[in-house]
Structure 1
């Protein structure tokens, strides 16, 4: 056993692969192409940038599953770091 791996903050490669596979399946079931997701991301950035200065490097937008009582539907999750709000009150 490699004792250095015990102190690593990175998730095991099997967990990373499992998460990637989940995302691929969700995208496939939602009928969403990577191109469409990039277009959606660009539109979200453009609209939010009208109201706030955002940090695009930390921007994360993904599709995932959400639901309750056994009914699972695609959900859009957006993590958008905001540097500061713009003064839009005119």
Structure 2
């Protein structure tokens, strides 16, 4: 998995699904699509320093969850990143 894998061509259906997911997530979190994309890219960048991840299975969502302090519902970030391998050393 290299940096170029991030830029591989997706089918128009996959691109449309990704855009729709991003719109739904950003609407729930009252966060702009640009900010969500930046957060996603930063998470990928940090995790990729230490692990070889499966970009096809990557799923980042913001949903609503019950607050532990009984303040109603709060936004929650759920990240599902399939890991192919752990990098060892000082990379």
TM-score where L is the length of structure 1: 0.64
Question: Secondary structure of 2:36's partner?
Answer: helix
- Contact 2:63-2:75 within 8 A present in 1 as well: yes
Question: Secondary structure of 1:77's partner?
Answer: strand
Aligned to 1:67: 66
Could you say which structure has the larger radius of gyration? Answer: 1
Structure 2 unaligned blocks of 5 or more = 1-19
TM-score where L is the length of structure 2: 0.63
Matches within 5 A, 1:1-12: none
Matches within 5 A, 1:2-81: 24=24, 27-28=26-27, 30-68=29-67, 69=70, 71-81=72-82
**Counterparts of 1:29 and 1:54, CA distance in 2:** 26
Poorly superposed stretches of 4+, deviation over 4 Å: none
Structure 1 unaligned blocks of 5 or more = 1-19
**Counterparts of 2:44 and 2:28, CA distance in 1:** 25
